[in-house]
């Protein structure tokens, strides 16, 4: 670990030097990236320097013990040395956590796709509940949401809704929401009062930049048509809706929420780019051994991750066995405890492979 610490500090000093170089300052993109890296490393370097001071102090105290004959001074030194050893052990654990490799995608914006699953209209209503939950969650975190595409159903839910979330560290926090969400409640359409179980799937994709995915225009088939709303009625009188098919993969993205064909096309391309990027990442992740795949960060869309039980007012996250009797607060976007515990479980899992 000591070698890693030295390398991190050297990198930090190198970045500091580059940030004061006039040639780098003129290159805004490079300067911004280096400034981001400096900010990210500053906390680690601060901890490294605190750790080094503790090690140095412990060495001096140990030296004093070997040279000092005064019983009272030796007792004080022994007490101080025990305290420093405790601090050293704590700092070593803290540094292990800080040195965990960070996922560079965590700082990115996210594309979130919610689709109604089993449960008919009730599943669509639940998809709408999840969308509003994430809108509130975004608001709590100072993020912005924008609907990219939606397929509403007449009673207030969605068969599918795709939206973007922009802000600081969005993907790093939202990625834990990927998977199958299940709801247990009495539907408003249920006359006998029986509890139904419905589901909706959530996909969370890191927003891709053009440099991440090179899309050849010749690989795209773009169709335009008139937008339609619930029940099939025409929304616009012009061909503003856009369907883009990526021929090599067969991926299809449609967007009709905007009145402008140009805006719908741009939004559809954003979703397509994110899906292609996600496919590439999945292929890369598949190369990892099953043992090293974290249970909370793979975003397995077929896995049941959370249940929202209305009769008991509880929410259970099945990945970490956490149950909170705070259903209403959760649906109002208070996901703080779930996110914190999932991050902790993820970190604990990764630390196993540093030992």
Q: For strand 144-152 and strand 158-166, is the pairing parallel, antiparallel, or unpaired?
A: antiparallel
Q: Which residue has the tokens 């025409």?
A: 234
* Helix, coil or strand: residue 258: coil
Could you tell me which CATH class the domain 105-208+300-351 is placed in?
Answer: alpha beta
In the sheet that 304-309 helps form, which strands lie side by side, from edge to edge?
144-152, 158-166, 110-116, 196-206, 179-185, 304-309, 314-317, 322-324
pTM for this model (two decimals): 0.68
| 342 CB-near residues (< 8 Å, 6+ apart) | 176, 296, 317, 319, 320
Say how far apart CA 333 and CA 7 lie, in whole Å.
Answer: 40
Residues written for the chain: 355
Sign of CA dihedral 49, 55, 57, 59: negative
Q: Which CATH architecture has domain 217-284?
A: 2-Layer Sandwich (3.30)
Given a contact cutoff of 8 angstroms between Cβ atoms, the answer to whether 330 and 168 are in contact is no
Mean pLDDT by 10 residues, the chain (355 residues): 82 92 89 85 90 93 86 89 92 81 84 92 94 97 94 86 94 94 85 85 87 83 77 56 92 88 90 88 61 44 84 96 96 95 84 61
SS3 193: coil
């Amino acid at each position: 670990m000591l070698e890693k610490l030295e390398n991190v500090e050297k990198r930090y000093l190198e970045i500091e030097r580059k940030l004061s170089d006039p040639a780098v300052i003129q290159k805004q993109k490079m300067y911004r990236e280096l400034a981001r890296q400096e900010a990210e490393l500053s906390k680690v370097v601060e901890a490294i320097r605190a750790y080094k001071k503790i090690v140095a102090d412990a060495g001096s105290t140990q030296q004093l013990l070997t040279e000092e004959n005064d019983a009272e001074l030796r007792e004080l030194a022994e007490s101080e040395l025990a305290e420093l050893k405790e601090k050293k052990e704590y700092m070593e654990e803290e540094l292990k956590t800080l040195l965990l490799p960070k996922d560079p995608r965590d700082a990115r914006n996210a594309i979130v796709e919610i689709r109604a699953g089993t449960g008919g209209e009730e599943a669509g209503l639940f998809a709408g509940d999840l969308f509003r939950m994430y809108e509130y969650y975004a608001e709590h975190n100072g993020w912005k949401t924008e609907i990219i595409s939606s397929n509403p159903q007449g009673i207030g839910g969605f068969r599918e809704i795709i939206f973007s979330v922009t802000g600081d560290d969005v993907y790093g926090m939202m990625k834990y929401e990927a998977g199958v969400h299940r709801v247990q409640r009495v539907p408003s359409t249920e006359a006998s009062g029986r509890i139904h179980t419905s589901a909706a799937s959530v996909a969370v994709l890191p927003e891709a930049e053009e440099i991440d995915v090179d899309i050849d225009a010749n690989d795209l088939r773009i169709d335009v048509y008139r937008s339609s709303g619930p029940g099939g009625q025409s929304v616009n009188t012009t061909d503003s809706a856009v369907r883009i098919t990526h021929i090599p993969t067969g991926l299809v993205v449609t967007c009709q929420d905007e009145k402008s064909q140009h805006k719908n096309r741009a939004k559809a391309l954003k979703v397509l780019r994110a899906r292609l990027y996600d496919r590439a990442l999945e292929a890369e992740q598949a190369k990892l051994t099953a043992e090293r795949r974290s249970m909370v960060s793979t975003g397995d869309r077929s896995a049941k991750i959370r249940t929202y039980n209305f009769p008991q007012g509880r929410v259970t996250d099945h990945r970490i066995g956490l149950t909170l009797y705070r259903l209403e607060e959760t649906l109002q976007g208070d996901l703080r405890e779930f996110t914190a515990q999932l991050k902790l479980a993820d970190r604990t899992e990764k630390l196993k492979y540093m030992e």
